[in-house]
Amino acid sequence: MKVLVTGGCGFIGSNFIRYFLKFHPDDSVINVDKLTYAGNLENLSELSHSPLYQFIKGDITDAPRVQDLVSMGVDAVINFAAESHVDRSIEDPSAFVKTNVFGTFVLLEAVRKFSPKQEIRFLQVSTDEVYGSLGETGAFTEQTPLAPNSPYSASKTAADMMVRAYHRTYGLPALITRCSNNFGPYQFPEKLIPLMISNAIEAQDLPIYGDGMHIRDWIYVEDHCCALDAVLRHGREGEVYNIGGGSEMPNLSVAKAILDRLGRPHSLLRFVTDRPGHDRRYAIDFSKIERELGWKPSVSFEEGIALTVDWYLAHREWWKKIKTGEYLTYYDRMYKNRPLPPPCREEKAGVE
């Protein structure tokens, strides 16, 4: 199988390419990435001389370039390319609409153009954030109505609907996956877990939005990659598959677990003003992919966070270069100048 991966220099994309080539040594990957702030060639440096891996710098909104790539005899397209940070989408939604919506359209059009000549399977890698926010109970299923609450999740919802329409209208062999929050090696340090880890290593404050009781379902990135591989090869065309880790946890508990792993005091926790439209709880029902494809997560949160903390300890140079560059300016703007919420929030959250 020859696969075109978009956004393969990002966090999940690079982990997937590494996983894919490890477990399918006879397959090959073309990786196209624009190399925005979160795309890093170092994430796949060990593959730079592999005959099974080819990197091409490119933008998925560039239709002629995308058509050229799809024409290279690929059997599948896996779309990881996306602007993905909610805070950035609130600050400037335009980039999210361009990449996430228009970029997906360009990819679909290219696949449709070549589909009469060869069947190209299209896998859209989406997010559970398209479902909106849950109450205290229940979990998102594939039938949950889409109700995005941020410009980021709205752009991913629009892309999902475009993929669905191309399958229904043109018969494109397309699939959609919606995954819960990933964590693991090579995650850009603006996201919660790598931010908490890198700050804790350096004994800096750990910024926690609101009261810290926003609940997410966490999945170790290699488990996600395994699920994507299963859907790519065996998923039913036109279907949506939810992928979850079965590890619901408030953000505050995540931060405390990281501090405990590193032997840092909980006094480093710092509550900051909540962001607009912050979904309170996500939880994923992944029974469909377990039932149809036999997949389920194999790495617990405790195991995954230990592996992740150890990786960031061993790769300080990787994330320090990021945090002392463009990211530091963004971090300062988003967190350092935000006022603390009233003390009652700290007491409610049980900060030590």
56: left (phi over 0), alpha (psi -120 to 50) or beta: beta
CATH 3.90.25.10 assigned to domain 192-214+249-277+302-349? The reply is yes
Catalytic-residue membership of 46: no
Beta-carbon count within 10 A of 189 CB = 20
Annotated catalytic residue: which of 152, 186, 220, 241? 152
Beta-ladder partners of 215 = 250, 281
Low-confidence ranges of the chain (pLDDT < 70): 325-352
Per-residue pLDDT, 221? 98
Start-end of CATH 3.90.25.10 domains in the chain: 192-214+249-277+302-349
The tokens describing 14, both together, are 């690079």
Partners of 140 in the beta sheet? 284
23 by Cβ neighbours in 10 Å (0-12 / 13-18 / 19+) ranks as: exposed
CATH topology of domain 2-183+220-243: Rossmann fold (3.40.50)
Annotated catalytic residue, options 33, 59, 128, 229: 128
* 3-state DSSP assignment of residue 282: coil
Catalytic residue among 33, 59, 129, 217: 129
- The sign of the dihedral angle between the CA atoms of 324, 339, 271, 274 is negative
pLDDT at residue 352, as a whole number: 32
Residues spanned by CATH 3.40.50.720 within the chain?
2-183+220-243
Tokens 């919660």 belong to 192
Is-catalytic flag, 129?
A: yes
Q: Provide the pLDDT for residue 133.
A: 92
pLDDT one-digit tens code per residue, 306-346: 999 999 999 999 998 887 765 444 445 544 544 433 333 33
What's the length of the chain? 352
What's the pLDDT at 347? 32
Q: pLDDT at position 275, please? A: 86
Question: What pLDDT was estimated at residue 326?
Answer: 53
What are the DSSP calls for 11-45, one per residue? HHHHHHHHHHHHH-TT-EEEEEE---TT--GGGGG
Q: What is the pLDDT of residues 181-215, one digit of tens each?
A: 999 999 998 899 999 999 999 999 999 999 999 99
- Give the C-alpha separation, 43 to 185, whole Å: 9
